[in-house]
């Protein structure tokens, strides 16, 4: 890789041999065993069905693997992704892949969208048309949708330190390189960690930051928990449930990401199962396309390292100051405003919706697009 600021066109063109190898491995899957438990009549007490008690069940993995092998069409998705302009450039020694779709509206606002794990830049593809080409009178956007270094078509990271802060600095450089003097930032999941830091690192150019989570937690001071409303207590109980029952992937990737890396690099079925717990509420096509991207780019290990690098980063003590907006969805982690205002000093928009989940681009895109328009139009 050369030290260059050149922006080069990019087109996804997976060799057929790689797809043949994928099919061969899927056909030869050695299935995991699991307990034979009769879940008939079991009551669902959490966000996942009872049969997910021990993790991703064999029945789910078998069903999606069969679909991956027999009916899923990667070439169709390759064609769709290639229908949007894509580019690569080198920033801070790392290859960065991104979509760059400009609106025909002269008043469009430049907006950089950051995905999370185990998603990829695929997360925002369904929002490209409604945000760049909205109905008459609605706010339009020029979209920059990068792939986080270590994920998908950006390829694996080559050195330490690719945490939220280094990614945010890379995004500020990317927007400068694209010629945008003023722009907004949005993120979900890991992108909700990165996007506020874009505002912190580049406040002179960032109009505002919009996220779907504000990950602000109790500091440990008992006084912070006094006088919580019943609703706020429910939010904290959900967070506790998630950490105790659904956060195993995060703990492993924060502490020893290489432990899982070898399995992910060798087994596409294993890669599918590893991303499935968080993505299982999305369509089968979305789950399989993300799994295919991770498999073809062999970035299971490097995407997991993002958690390790972020856990071991030096985190700023001062709050962010750029205008910040939250769109919080019903079946997702709900932040408490009293904690969020400790970490973000300029929250100007706070909307909680009665539908949608952690992946709102998939199940509440209309609400998310509408909140983005309202937030950024209000700032300008």
> What is the Rg, in whole angstroms, of the alpha carbon atoms belonging to the chain?
21
Nearest to 325 by CA among 380, 359, 288, 372: 372
3-state secondary structure of 12: coil
Q: Identify the active-site residue in 307, 310, 343, 344.
A: 307
Structure tokens at 284: 């089968």
DSSP 8-state secondary structure symbol assigned to residue 134: -
Nearest to 302 by CA among 249, 247, 246, 260: 260
Q: Identify the active-site residue in 142, 189, 193, 371.
A: 189
Structure tokens at 208: 């505002």
Q: Which residues pair with 306 in a beta bridge?
A: none
Distance of CA 307 to the CA centre of its chain: 13
DSSP characters for 155-222? ----SS--SHHHHHHHHHHHHHHTT-SSEEEEE-THHHHHHHHHHHH-TTTEEEEEES-------S-G
Residues present in the chain in total: 380
Q: How far apart are CA 311 and CA 38, in angstroms?
A: 39
358 in active site: yes
Q: Identify the active-site residue in 100, 142, 344, 358.
A: 358
In terms of Cβ atoms closer than 10 Å to its own Cβ (0-12, 13-18, 19+), residue 254 is: middle
- Whether residue 118 is preceded by a cis peptide bond, meaning omega within 30 degrees of 0, is yes
Give kind and range of the element (H or E) at residue 21.
Answer: helix 16-27
Q: Which residues participate in catalysis according to the annotation?
A: 189, 307, 358
């Amino acid at each position: 890789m050369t030290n260059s600021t050149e922006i080069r066109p990019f087109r996804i063109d997976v060799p057929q041999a790689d797809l043949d190898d994928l099919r061969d491995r899927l056909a030869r899957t050695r299935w995991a065993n699991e307990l034979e438990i009769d879940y008939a009549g079991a009551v669902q007490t959490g966000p996942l069905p009872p049969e997910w008690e021990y993790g991703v069940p064999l029945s789910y993995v078998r069903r999606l693997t069969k679909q991956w092998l027999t009916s899923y069409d990667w070439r169709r998705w390759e064609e769709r992704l290639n229908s949007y302009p894509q580019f690569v450039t080198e920033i801070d020694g790392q290859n960065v892949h991104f979509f760059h779709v400009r609106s025909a509206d002269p008043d469009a606002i430049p907006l950089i969208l950051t995905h999370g794990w185990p998603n990829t830049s695929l997360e925002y593809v369904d929002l490209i048309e409604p945000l760049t080409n909205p109905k008459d009178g609605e706010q339009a956007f020029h979209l920059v949708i990068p792939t986080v270094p270590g994920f998908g078509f950006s390829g694996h990271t080559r050195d330490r330190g690719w945490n939220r802060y280094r990614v945010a600095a890379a995004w500020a450089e990317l927007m400068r390189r694209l010629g945008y003097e003023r722009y907004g930032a949005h993120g979900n999941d890991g992108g909700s960690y990165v996007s506020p830091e874009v505002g912190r690192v580049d406040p002179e150019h960032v109009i505002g930051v919009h996220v779907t989570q504000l990950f602000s937690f109790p500091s440990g001071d008992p006084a912070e928990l006094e006088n919580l409303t019943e609703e706020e207590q429910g939010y904290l109980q959900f967070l506790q449930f998630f950490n105790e029952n659904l956060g195993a992937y995060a703990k492993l990737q924060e502490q020893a990401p290489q432990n899982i890396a070898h399995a992910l690099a060798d087994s596409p079925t294993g890669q599918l199962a590893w991303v499935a717990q968080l993505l299982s509420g999305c369509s089968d096509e979305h789950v399989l396309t993300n799994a295919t991207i991770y498999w073809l780019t062999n970035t299971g290990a490097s995407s997991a390292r993002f958690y390790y690098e972020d856990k071991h980063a030096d985190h700023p003590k001062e709050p962010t100051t750029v205008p910040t907006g939250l769109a919080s969805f019903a079946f997702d982690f709900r932040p408490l405003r009293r904690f969020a205002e400790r970490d973000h000093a300029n929250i100007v928009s706070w909307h909680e919706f009665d539908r949608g989940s952690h992946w709102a681009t998939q199940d509440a895109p209309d609400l998310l697009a509408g909140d983005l328009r309202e937030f950024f139009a209000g700032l300008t």
